[in-house]
Structure 1
Amino acid sequence: MDRFDTMLAFTRVVELESFTKAALSLNLPKTTVSAQVLALEKRLRVKLLHRTTRRISVTTDGAAYYERAIRLLNELEETEAALNQATVNVKGRLRVDVPAPLGRLVIIPALPDFFKRYPDIQLEIGCDDRPIDLLEEGVDCVIRIGNPVDSTLVARRVGTMQFMLVASPAYLETYGRPASPDDLPHHQGVHFFSSKTGKVYPFLLTQEGVKLEVATTRQLAINNGDAMVSACLAGLGICQLPSFMVQALLASGEMESVLTDFGAEGFPMNALYPQNRHLSSKVRAFIEWVAELFSVCPLLQAIRPA
């Protein structure tokens, strides 16, 4: 039995605390993963895991072996990637999670190019705005907007997202158009709130280089970008939305831009993956492809509407 395979199986069981989840992550039968870990323990002549009917935990020897195994797996992966970058056959199951609007409008329409480059990758994409536990749910990497707050994840910057204030023509006809950020507290606003913390976010603007946080008269807060678009189109208030989500609606006249001289600074887009899991060639390939896509996608380029 290959030592690399048994080492990889063991580290994944430790990370996910489950043979079933580890097997799913590695796209292997559970019996195979269990046999690999047993073979590893037999070869090392130590007990690496405590197994009960309810949970799996690592022993003291297992924890020490895990730390060394992760370093070796990282070094091996980096060495193979450096030597075989031009010819490596990237393959296997890859599970990622991306914000729903970004997946729908940017990533999924570009996937024919991804599969042309990497025909042997079986890609599973979660399009969700909810917080997820990568290790618990067996996700290889996620794309998220804003500065990362989880210190257990490695962040790779893959692009910048521009936001803008928009409203429907019906709303502006009824309530008027704000001339400056000082007018916003007198307007209805549809704000975004975090599913994880419940925090309702104000509008973020800049005025002569100074960052501003501006709240409105709020009757509605939503935790989903597509739903915020619907609320804006219904005339429920002014919204601050990513420019890639509203460009077509601005062009059609269904939305109008507001306070274009006070736009917010771009928000970083990051690919995140667990720091204690080696970066596989398929994850590296996806991250590199996403970074290239974001750099050329017209929807993600800064716009300045009239």
Structure 2
Amino acid sequence: MRSNMFDYMDIFIQVVEKGSFSQAADFLQLHRPAVSKAIQQLEAELGVKLIHRTTRKLNVTAEGEEFYQRAKQMMGEFGDMMANFSPTLPPQGRLRIDIPLSLAHSLFIPALGDFTALYPDIEVVLLSSDKRTDLIASGVDCVVRLGELHDSGFIARRLGEIDLVTCAAPAYIAQHGMPQSLEDLHQHQAINFFSDHSREIMTWTFTVEGKIVTHRSDSVILVDNSDILLSCGLAGLGIIQATRMALAAHLVSGALVEILPQYPPQAKPISILYPDRRYLPSKVQAFISWFSERFASQ
């Protein structure tokens, strides 16, 4: 492709949209002969007629209409791409983020309005689940992860830790009693969470005299979704262990009651992962900085 083809396409788009060579020339601040010559060069390069010109009227051919649609899309994508890497322009474009459900509900969505107000030219595409996301295969720009990381080939920025809590609904406690010790948990029903990636059941942890103790209770229900885990807990089906941030409102309302507070679970690390790129788009940089500050302020 000739180096000036982008200029020709831009001129052609303006001619079609303005419906006139003269108006397009005025808009682009070009002489009318330069606009005519650009269209002629474009038609010669493509080998098709794009516009029929008469002294009174301008008609776009079928080939011209198809070329206009594709050129318009290409120029738009090219503009977005250049803007993403321009240090002089505000961050803009489509930003694809993957966040675990519990964090999306409790941390990200409540603050999302602040982010969109700061960066109105960024279109957020929020992908939220508890499944392990492949950054490259899914085409996301960055991922927020809970727990220890085992990925290779990605840059990880650790933000801190999130507290967990062990709890159950008052209806469950009324029926089965309140556990007083870790040994008592063996007599209770657990709602356990398993990873869809490894199929491994998540082990509960407790801090006892400064040391981390693990515990595995038999599952009455096994789930792979944090929303379902919470729903089961609220329904009084068993004891759950999850992030305190996600359960905070239910603990305050009394819909859930903390169990064994003297043995707090081990906190989970939270990190942001993004592909190892030499030049990170400004929209991704903006999100990472904003989300890091948001988490630090919690």
* TM-score higher than 0.5: yes
**Deviation string, structure 1 residues 185-209 (Cα, Å, up to 9, x no partner):** 2211111100111111121111011
User: Which residue in the other structure is 1:283 paired with?
Assistant: 284
| Structure 1: distance between partners of 2:160 and 2:293 | 9
Q: Does 1:249 align with 2:250?
A: yes
| Structure 1: distance between partners of 2:254 and 2:95 | 40
User: Which residue in the other structure is 1:238 paired with?
Assistant: 239
User: Which residue in the other structure is 1:118 paired with?
Assistant: 119
Contact 1:158 1:287 in 2 (8 A): no
Matched letter for residue 231 of structure 2: S
Q: Does 1:150 align with 2:186?
A: no
Aligned-residue offset at 1:278: 3.3
Unaligned runs of 5+ in 1: 3-27, 34-76, 298-306
1:81-96 equivalence runs, <5 A: 88-96=89-97
Aligned-residue offset at 1:184: 1.2
Q: Alignment partner of 2:229: what SS?
A: helix
Name whichever of 251-260 and 216-225 sits farther off.
Answer: 216-225
Aligned-residue offset at 1:161: 1.1
Aligned-residue offset at 1:231: 0.6
User: Which residue in the other structure is 1:57 paired with?
Assistant: none
* TM-score normalised over the length of structure 2: 0.69
| Structure 2: distance between partners of 1:145 and 1:296 | 18
Q: Which runs of 4+ in 1 moved over 4 A?
A: none
Unaligned runs of 5+ in 2: 4-72, 79-84
Aligned-residue offset at 1:273: 0.8
| Structure 1: distance between partners of 2:283 and 2:135 | 16
Aligned-residue offset at 1:277: 5.9
| Percent identical | 37
Q: Does 1:181 align with 2:165?
A: no
Q: How many residues align?
A: 223
User: Which residue in the other structure is 2:208 paired with?
Assistant: 207
Structure whose alpha-carbon radius of gyration is higher: 2
| Structure 1: distance between partners of 2:177 and 2:74 | 62
Contact 1:98 1:126 in 2 (8 A): yes
**Deviation string, structure 1 residues 91-119 (Cα, Å, up to 9, x no partner):** 12111110122112321221121122111
| Structure 1: distance between partners of 2:244 and 2:95 | 29
Aligned-residue offset at 1:173: 1.3
**Deviation string, structure 1 residues 41-85 (Cα, Å, up to 9, x no partner):** xxxxxxxxxxxxxxxxxxxxxxxxxxxxxxxxxxxx7xx8xxx5x
User: Which residue in the other structure is 1:304 paired with?
Assistant: none
| Structure 1: distance between partners of 2:235 and 2:105 | 21
